[in-house]
């Protein structure tokens, strides 16, 4: 029985009509990789590198970061690793960095905005990553930047990456952005030209689309990523990416919900990354579906007037 279960987890998330969705794990440490693979993870779709800073009292050096990325790549043995550049600010405060207090940190200097203002954080991380890329299987390492709002941010970050890559004589690494600010989703067709992939951070995209603090004690439960307005932003992102032949993933919490995953696949999302324990349920759900049914489900969800109505589609055709 256990062996059967393990075997099923190891199968790809391929629908009955042959459409495959890549399944990644959200994993932050090398020692968590084996567990993620045993759950059926096919790679790491989100490594939150803030945790390298949060689990200790100071910033890890370039050398320490390099060792960690190398260990991740080794544990993954050629499978893809998407490393997210530091996403500090908002809900991820790092006291020992002693950054200025902000009245409204979710709308402040966070993610890419912070990286661009702090080369002493950005550059050692990129150097560590490009050094790790030198020893990795080509294409196994991908880098993405959090909280991107404008094309200018992408251009500036790409220029820094290009310079560091040249300095280290390192191979090219695919560069992606997280789509978690509605502006980026709305302009996805324009941004897609300048990046290799998108990964939608539905946790933040939902909080910014609905204007609900994701940690609000009273309101957070209403910040439902299946709200039709969020689904429409996801659709815009997919449409924009497709115009330029780019792929779109989702690494927010809704990717690990079997119904959410079905809907996302129907919207054209190609990769889903989630907490390892959610992987078996998502794979089973997708393997029990037909792409045409999922696309029909997605079409109906986009026309719903609330997340309750979207969730009520569960149990209908898929
Ligand atoms: C997200 O915002 O959906 C996301 C994956 O990033 P985080 O939860 O780390 O902000
Ligand atoms: Mg986020």
The confidence score (pLDDT) of residue 316 equals 62
Q: What is the CA radius of gyration of the chain?
A: 19
pLDDT tens-place string over residues 178-204: 999 999 999 999 999 999 999 999 999
Report how far residue 193's alpha carbon sits from residue 195's, in angstroms, rounded to the nearest whole number.
6
Convert the pLDDT of each residue in 71-129 to its tens digit.
Answer: 999 999 999 999 999 999 988 888 888 899 999 999 999 999 999 999 999 999 999 99
pLDDT at 97: 87
Q: What pTM was estimated for this model as a whole?
A: 0.97
Checking ipTM against 0.95, whether it exceeds it is yes
146 SS3 class: coil
Q: Is the pLDDT of residue 12 over 90?
A: yes
Q: Are 41 and 276 in contact (CB under 8 A)?
A: yes
- 241 pLDDT exceeds 60? yes
pLDDT at 317 over 50: no
CA 147 – ligand 1 centroid, Å: 9
Average pLDDT, the chain: 96
Tell me how far the alpha carbon of residue 194 lies from the centroid of ligand 1, in angstroms.
22
Q: Provide residues with CB under 6 Å of ligand 1.
A: 46, 48, 87, 180, 201-204, 251-252
Distance from Cα 16 to the centre of ligand 1, integer Å: 31
Asked whether the predicted pLDDT for residue 318 surpasses 70, the reply is no
Q: How many residues does the chain have?
A: 318
**Residue 108: count of CB within 10 angstroms of its CB:** 15
56 pLDDT above the threshold of 90:
no
């Amino acid at each position: 029985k256990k062996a059967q279960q393990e075997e099923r987890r190891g199968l790809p998330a391929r629908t009955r009509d042959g459409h495959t969705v890549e399944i990644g794990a959200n994993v932050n440490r090398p020692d968590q990789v084996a567990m993620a693979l045993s759950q059926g993870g096919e790679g790491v779709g989100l490594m939150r590198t803030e945790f390298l800073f949060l689990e200790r009292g100071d910033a890890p050096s370039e050398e320490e970061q390099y060792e960690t990325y190398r260990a991740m790549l080794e544990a993954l043995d050629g499978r893809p690793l998407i490393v997210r550049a530091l996403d500090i600010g908002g809900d991820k405060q790092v006291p020992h960095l002693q950054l200025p207090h902000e009245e409204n940190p979710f709308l402040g200097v966070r993610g890419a905005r912070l990286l661009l203002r702090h080369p002493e954080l950005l550059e050692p991380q990129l150097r560590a990553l490009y050094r790790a890329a030198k020893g990795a299987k080509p294409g196994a390492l991908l880098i993405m930047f959090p909280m991107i709002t404008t094309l200018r941010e992408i251009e500036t970050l790409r220029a820094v990456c290009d310079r560091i890559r040249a300095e280290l004589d390192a191979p090219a690494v695919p560069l992606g952005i997280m789509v978690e600010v509605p502006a980026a989703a709305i302009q996805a067709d324009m941004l897609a030209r300048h990046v290799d992939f998108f990964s939608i951070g539905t946790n933040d995209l939902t909080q910014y689309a609905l204007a609900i603090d994701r940690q609000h004690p009273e309101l957070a439960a209403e910040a439902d990523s299946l709200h039709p307005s969020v689904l429409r932003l996801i659709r815009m992102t997919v449409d924009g990416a497709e115009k330029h032949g780019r792929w779109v993933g989702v690494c927010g919490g809704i990717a690990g919900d079997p119904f959410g995953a079905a809907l996302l696949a129907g919207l054209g999302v190609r990769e889903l990354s989630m907490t390892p324990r959610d992987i078996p349920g998502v794979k089973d759900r997708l393997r029990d579906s037909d792409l045409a049914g999922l696309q029909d489900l997605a079409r109906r969800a986009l026309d719903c007037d609330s997340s309750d109505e979207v969730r009520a589609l569960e149990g209908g055709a898929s």
